[in-house]
Amino acid sequence: MHTFKENSASGSAVVKTLQASSQAVIRLVISDKNWLETSAVDQLKKTAELPGMRCVVGMPDLHPGKGQPIGAAFITHGHIYPHLVGSDIGCGMGLWKLNVSKRQVKLDKWEKRLVDLDDPWKEGDRDKWLMDAGVVTKDNALKSENLKLGTIGGGNHFAEIQQVNEIFDPVVLSGLGLDKHAVVFLAHSGSRGLGQKILRRYVDVHGGQSLISKADVNGAHSNGQRVISQYLQQQDYAIRWAVANRDLIAERFCQRLRVKKSALLDVSHNSVTALDRASLEALGLKHTDTERYWIHRKGASPTDQGLVMIPGSRGSLSYLVRPRISDIQSLAAGGFSLAHGAGRKWKRSECRGRLQGRYRVRDLEVTEMGSRVICQQRDLLYQEAPQAYKNISTVIDDLIQAGMMDVIASFKPIITYKTRRK
Ligand SMILES: Nc1nc2c(ncn2[C@@H]2O[C@H](COP(=O)(O)O)[C@@H](O)[C@H]2O)c(=O)[nH]1
Ligand SMILES: [Mn+2]
C-alpha cells in the first residue's frame, strides 16, 4: 500500500517562489526530490518577461518544450498569447467506466479486437457526431480536420484500458460507481490538426506577440478585443471538438471490445480562460474593469472542473485526484492548476539510443506491470517508454504536499494502444 505524506502546513517545502522578474511572480510546485531540468526553469523565467505577465507557475511535471515549458500555468493581465497554449488546443484526458470487471478482461482476445482504429471513422456520420455534441462552426476551413475525428494521433497520445490498483477515498470512488474490481478507459488526445491550424492563423500575423485586450494607443478598444474574441471562439471550438473526439475514440474502442461505457470526466490541459474575481483576490491581483486577467495552461489541468486523472506512463500508475477546493490559498499558490502527467525526462531523440541495448522491441511490448502495449512504430515504442518519464509518485506527492489535491484512487494499465500503423 502506498502512503502519501501529510501535507506540510504551508506547502513551503514544495512551493518555491523565484525572484527572477520584476513584473511577474515565478513559482515552482516542485520538491527537491523531483526531477527538474534547468532549461525548463529558464524557459519559465523567459515567459515571465512577456508583456502583461503577472504570475507563472511550474507544475511538478514541468519540462522543456519548443521555446516555452510544458507543465505550467501563465497568468497575464490584458494579454493573450496563443503560442503559450500551443498547437494542440484542447488536448486532455477523458475517462470512462466500462461495464466489465477485472476478471472479465481476456487480454489476448481484447488485444486482437483492437484493430482499424488508426483509420478514419467510417461506421458513422462525423458531421452528425459533432452536431450531436454541439460542436458547430461556420468557419469552413476548420471543417477540413473532421476526417481525423475519432483517431488518437501520434506522439504522447494514447488510449489505455486500466484497472483499479489502490483505493484512497472509497466514498468518492463508489460515488462514481467504481470499486476494486472496476475497469476504466482513459483517452489522451487533442484537437488533431485543428489547434495547429488555429495557432498558425495568429502566429503568422502576430508572431510571439500577444493579442491585446486593453485600449490601443489611440484609445480605440475595438481591434484587440475583436481579435481576442475571434481567437477565443476558435479555441472554444477546438476544445469542444477535442472532447467530442475523445468521446468517439472511447466509442470505437468499446464497440471493438463489445463493452458499454459511461463517462466519468473529461478535462483539457491546453487552453486559455479568463480568471474570476474570487481567484484574482486569492492571487492578490487587483480586479480592473478595463482589462481581464487570463490564465494560460500548457500541460496543466484546471482545479475548477472536478476530478482530474493524472497519468504516469504506460508502465506506471495513473492517479484519480480531487483538487482541494476548500483550500483556495494553496490552489492560488499553484496557479489554480495541477500536473497533467509525469512529464518527460528524456528527449524523444535520445530514447532509442539509451534503451535499445537493454530492451528489444518484444521487451517493450509488455510492461513491468504485465500490461500489453500496441505500438507498431518502433521509434515511438522507444520514445514513449516508461523510462522516458519522470516518477509519477513524486509528482503526486508534490501536489499533495502543496495542499492542492487529494488522491481518490490509483489505476494500473492493462492495455495501452498507440498505433497499429508501421
Ligand atoms: N498511462 C499512460 N500515461 C502516459 C502514456 N504516455 C504518456 N503518458 C503520460 O501522459 C502525459 C501527457 O503529456 P502531454 O504533454 O502529451 O499532454 C505525459 O506527461 C505522461 O506522464 C501512456 O502510454 N500511458
Ligand atoms: Mn496532452
**Taking the model in full, what pTM does it have?**
0.96
Ligand 1 pocket residues where CB is under 6 Å: 61, 70, 91, 156, 158, 160, 188, 269, 299, 311-314, 318, 340-343, 384, 389, 413, 416
C-alpha cell belonging to residue 339: 500536473
The 10s digit of each residue's pLDDT in 180-236 is 999 999 999 999 999 999 999 999 988 889 998 655 555 555 578 889 999 999 999
Element (H, E) at 202: helix 193-206
Annotated catalytic residue 340: yes
- pLDDT band at 140, cuts 50/70/90? very high
Indicate if the alpha-carbon torsion angle 250, 254, 255, 261 is positive or negative. negative
Q: What is the pLDDT of residues 278-293, one digit of tens each?
A: 999 999 999 988 889 9
Q: What is the pLDDT of residues 385-402, one digit of tens each?
A: 999 999 999 999 999 999
Residue of minimum CA distance from atom 5 in ligand 1: 313
Please tell me the distance from the alpha carbon of residue 6 to that of residue 9, in angstroms, as a whole number: 9
From atom 17 of ligand 1, which residue's Cα is the shortest distance away? 299
Q: Residue 4: which pLDDT band, with cuts at 50, 70 and 90?
A: low
Ligand index nearest the alpha carbon of residue 95? 1
Distance of CA 405 to the CA centre of its chain: 16
Say yes or no: ipTM exceeds 0.95: yes
Ligand 2 centroid–CA 300 distance in Å is 9
* CA of 392, closest atom in ligand 1: 21
> Rounded to an integer, what distance in angstroms lies between the CA atom of residue 55 and that of residue 331?
13
In residues, how long is the chain? 422
Residue 224 is predicted with a pLDDT of 82
Cα distance between residue 398 and residue 39, in whole Å? 20
Beta bridge partner(s), residue 164 = 411
pLDDT of residue 290: 84
Question: Which atom from ligand 1 is nearest to the alpha carbon of 344?
Answer: 19
Q: Hey, what long-range contacts does 43-48 have (CB within 8 A, 24 or more apart)? A: 43/67, 43/68, 43/69, 44/69, 44/72, 45/18, 45/20, 45/21, 47/72, 47/74, 47/84, 48/20, 48/21, 48/23, 48/24
Contact yes or no for 85/271 (Cβ under 8 A): yes
Instruction: Say what the pLDDT of residue 283 is.
Output: 96
Q: What are the residues whose beta carbons fall under 8 Å from the beta carbon of 85, sequence distance 6 or more?
A: 199, 235, 270, 271, 272, 296, 297, 298
Residue 13 binned pLDDT confidence (cut-offs 50, 70, 90) = confident
Q: How far apart are CA 184 and CA 53, in angstroms?
A: 39
Judged against a pLDDT cut of 90, whether residue 275 lies above it is answered with: yes
Residues 6+ away with beta carbon under 8 Å from 29: 11, 14, 15, 57, 58, 59, 60, 333, 334, 398, 399, 402, 404
Average pLDDT value over all residues in the chain: 95
Q: Beta 53-63 vs 25-29: how paired, if at all? A: parallel
Q: How far apart are CA 196 and CA 214, in angstroms?
A: 26
- Span 61-94, pLDDT tens digits: 999 999 999 999 999 999 999 999 999 999 999 9
